[in-house]
Copies of this chain bind each other. A is one copy, B any other.
Amino acid sequence: MTDNKRVVLASRPNPNVSLDNFRLETAALTPLGDGEVRVRNHYLSLDPYMRGRMSDAKNYAAPQALDAVMIGGTVGDVVESRNPAWTVGDKVVGIGGWQEFTTSAGADMRKIQGTAIPLSAYLGSVGMPGVTAWYGLNRICKVTAGETIVVSAASGAVGSVVGQLAKMKGARVVGIAGGPEKCAYVTETLGFDACVDYKAGALDSDLEAATPKGIDAYFENVGGEATKVVIQRINAFGRIAVCGLISIYDNTAPTAIDFRRVLIQRLTIEGFIVSEHMEVWPEALKELGALVATGKLQFRESIADGLASAPEAFLGLLKGKNFGKQLVKLI
């Protein structure tokens, strides 16, 4: 245990993300200072929000600094500690970054208790993506029994949780996903009522067929064509939770929507970032943890092998090549 491999941001997207925006480095681990703790990271989470941090455009968060370790959620265990709050062997989830070992004062991480939940799930359904789903569904979409909700990126880390929670509330749940394999997973394993394959080229008519009573709520993860089509089918007092816009992050062209629908249907469209709503995390994590521990919430992971594979896996995530929560297995 003398070296740490890490991935830093080498340059900014121009305008698309490419492999040469990243640089893999190796640095020697130095002795811990007083109060420090060292974690060996087992899994790194790759998430769409990282795309925003890579640019230096005005955004909701400070941009990722060049030549610094890429931001990212991690799970691991404490391997060395000079901090009385942490003991070797503690399982932790935190913002450890794209690296094998994280050395810190322990402020950005919390201990994982119990064993009924797989460690990696703390980066997915029982972590930030799960709470994101919970917040957008419960605080913005607010679906009730009998209503119809549409969820884009339905097989993904967030969308899969949204749909399953909405089913538990008695809603009709329609996913949008790319390709027949993902759609089959969404309906057969996740239990959505229907799933529209946007790659089939008939999003408009397919969504119409899948939502005979219109759409009461939309959980937006992708943007672009999906937004336009959903707005045309949305019912009075419809709610749109804007969680992600993965299809247009690289695209500066505006989205041409029929804005009159906002008034005619008295819509509420609300963008949110889950890290600004920390007050819901305890309640959400408790509920999500119980559902995963008892097998009531299904999830799927795409696991890339080794830190060196992280940049390519991240590019794949932005293009929808992942299938379920995208992780990188570290050490």
Contact = CB atoms under 8 A, between A and B. Distances in A.
A276 B268 CA distance: 15
A267 interface: yes
Contact of A255 (B248, B259, B272): B259
A244 interface: yes
A131 B99 CA distance: 57
Given A248-B259, A255-B256, A256-B256, A264 B223 contact: no
Contacts of A263: 242-245, 271, 273
A2 interface: no
A223 B259 CA distance: 8
Contacts of A276: 266
A147 B206 CA distance: 44
Interface string A25-63: 000000000000000000000000000100000111000
Interface string A236-273: 10000011110011001011111110111111111111
B267 A273 contact: no
Q: How often does this chain occur in the complex, in copies?
A: 2
Interface string A195-223: 00000000000000000000000000001
Contacts of A228: 254
A268 B265 contact: no
A159 to B, nearest CB: 16
A248 B260 contact: yes
Contacts of A255: 256-259
Contacts of A59: 264
A266 B271 contact: yes
A227 B270 contact: no
Contact of A265 (B245, B257, B271): B271
Contacts of A245: 259-260, 263
A242 B258 contact: no
A267 B271 contact: yes
A230 to B, nearest CB: 12
Nearest to A254: B256
Given A228-B254, A252-B258, 20 more contacts: A52-B264, A59-B264, A60-B266, A223-B259, A242-B259, A242-B263, A248-B260, A249-B260, A254-B257, A255-B259, A257-B259, A262-B270, A262-B271, A264-B271, A265-B271, A266-B271, A267-B271, A268-B271, A269-B269, A269-B270
